[in-house]
Amino acid sequence: MASANGTWSQVKDVLRDVAVDKALEEAQTSYLYQQLYEEQKGLRVEIQDAGAKHVSATEKEKAKDSDNDSLDEFEKEIENDPELRKIQEERREQLKEQFRQKQEKLSKGFGHYDQMDEKDMLKMAADTQYVVVHFSSNEFKNCSVMDHHLALLAPKNTDVRFVKCDAKKSPFVTQRWKIRTLPTLCVVVHGFLVDKVIGFTELGNRDDFPTIALERRLAKTGICFLNIFYTLIFFWNLTFSLRTSFIKKKQQTFFLTFGKCNF
């Protein structure tokens, strides 16, 4: 009886060890399977994210290429636009005419600051659109200061004739135009006196004023910076033409895309 009990005890121990080993094996297998599943799941997510990023980058590149192609096509259409070509041709002819007129004016003394006597100055002013006459005297230092600034302005404003006259040798004009202070600038348009700059009062009331101060003062009369007006007109026409052309192209694209749809 004792021997049988001992044998059964040994059998139970063996069975218990087998059950424990089997349970441990099942638990380990289940853990490894779960770990493998999680790793595969994470790898799948990474692959999906990478694929999405690749697709997104590809779509962006395609959209960018499409935008570049559209821009290139639009630029080509603008270059071949008849309205723009017409404006460019008109501007080209305008520049040629301005260059011709400028050369003609330079040959007549425009772009230079010269001294003239009373008689020649009056004759020239009667036949010239814009003239600035500086009545001066060699006895006054401020007249030399004004000479310096006018010599700088003359090449920049070739639509205006800049000259100076000796006040003592011009009694008729100084009396008629009431020149009592030196230096005095007289702005003459088509032979008529329209404005005067007397001394340095409007130029900061000092003799070291910058040239731009005198230029701005003369611009108030309307005789300087005249080319800016024509430049603004050109860019306005160009902008309007480009805007009109762009709207037309957009309308054509819209009708070609949606014009045949039945809503």
What six digits make up the tokens of 60?
């962006």
What pLDDT is stored for residue 85 in this prediction? Answer: 75
Q: How many C-beta neighbours within 10 Å does residue 29 have? A: 10
Q: Give the pLDDT confidence score for residue 223 in this predicted structure.
A: 73
Q: Strand order of the sheet with strand 130-136? A: 113-115, 161-166, 130-136, 184-189, 192-198
Is residue 219 within 8 A of residue 229, CB to CB? The reply is no
What is the chain's length? 263
The phi, psi pair for 86, rounded to 5°, reads -65, -45
Q: What pLDDT is stored for residue 227 in this prediction?
A: 44
Q: What domains does the chain contain, in order, with CATH numbers?
A: 94-228 (3.40.30.10)
185-240 pLDDT, tens digit each: 999 999 999 999 999 999 999 999 999 999 999 988 877 654 454 445 445 555 65
- The helix (run of H) or strand (run of E) holding residue 196 is strand 192-198
Q: What is the pLDDT of residues 64-86, one digit of tens each?
A: 555 566 666 666 666 666 777 77
Pick from 83-92, 108-117, 118-127, 205-214: least confident:
83-92
**Structure-model confidence comparison of residues 223 and 169, the more confident one:** 169
N- to C-terminal Cα separation, the chain? 100
pTM above 0.75, yes or no: no
Residue 259 has pLDDT above 70, yes or no: no
Average pLDDT over residues 135-141: 94
Q: What is the CA radius of gyration of the chain?
A: 46
> What sign has the CA pseudo-torsion 248, 250, 256, 260?
negative
Q: What pLDDT sits at residue 34? A: 59
The answer to whether 136 and 182 are in contact (CB under 8 A) is: yes
- Please confirm whether the linkage preceding 183 is cis (ω < 30° from 0): yes
How many C-beta neighbours within 10 Å does residue 146 have? 25
- Rounded CA-CA distance 115/138 in Å is 12
Quote the tokens at residue 250.
Answer: 């957009």
